Amino acid sequence: MPRIRPKEMLDKNAKQKIISKFKIHDNDTGSTQVQVAILTEEIRDLSDHLKRHKHDHSSRRGLLKKVGERRRLLKYLQKEDELAFNELAKKLKLKIAKKMIEDEEEKKRIEEEIMANEQLKIDEAEKKNQDAEDEEEN
């Protein structure tokens, strides 16, 4: 039985369309947004391929590598330019972006909670010191 191989990469025309749609400036071919858009299209192609060919493990591995790379790029974009991240997530309809936003909000909430607890401990310690000083004066 001949081995079935998916399209390894997007064809030139499809890639050019994606680049022109997501570019930031005229000569942009490799910005984070463009890279994420290209990876997203490749991930969709590989996912469709794997639905038809369930036992193609080498393509599955390639898909997982692309998903990981896209996740790293999205995390970077979210950290550097949150507005661009949100726009890109909406344009590409990315489910993972929603999860990343929720995770980031949870992280911020936990950090704020920790800071509030530390401030409370500092305030209590200062109050004890003040009470001790007042008692010494009496």
Q: What is the pLDDT of residues 103-127, one digit of tens each?
A: 888 888 999 999 999 998 898 888 8
What is the distance, to the nearest Å, from the Cα of residue 6 to the centroid of all Cα atoms in its chain? 26
Q: How far apart are CA 109 and CA 87, in angstroms?
A: 23
Q: How far apart are CA 101 and CA 6, in angstroms?
A: 32
The superfamily in CATH containing domain 1-93 is S15/NS1, RNA-binding (1.10.287.10)
- For the full predicted model, state whether its pTM sits above 0.75: no
- Residue 134: per-residue pLDDT: 79
- Residue 125: per-residue pLDDT: 87
Q: How far apart are CA 70 and CA 40, in angstroms?
A: 7
Mean pLDDT of the chain: 87
- Residue 7: per-residue pLDDT: 52
Q: How far apart are CA 5 and CA 54, in angstroms?
A: 12
Domain residue extents for the chain: 1-93, 96-138
